[in-house]
Structure 1
Amino acid sequence: MRQDQYLRLQELTEKLTDAFLAEADPDKWPGAGMEVADMDQQTRGDRYWCKKNAAATLTVVMKTANLLGVTKPPSGEGNGADSEEEEEPGLDSEIARAEKEAQKMLAEIQSGAKKAAFDKKVHGK
Structure 2
Amino acid sequence: MTQKERGDAYWCRKLAAASIALLTKVNNLVVTHTATTAGTGKGEDELDEEVAQAERQAMALLERASKGANVH
Larger Rg: 1
Give the alignment's TM-score, normalised by structure 2.
Answer: 0.50
TM-score normalized with structure 1 length: 0.30
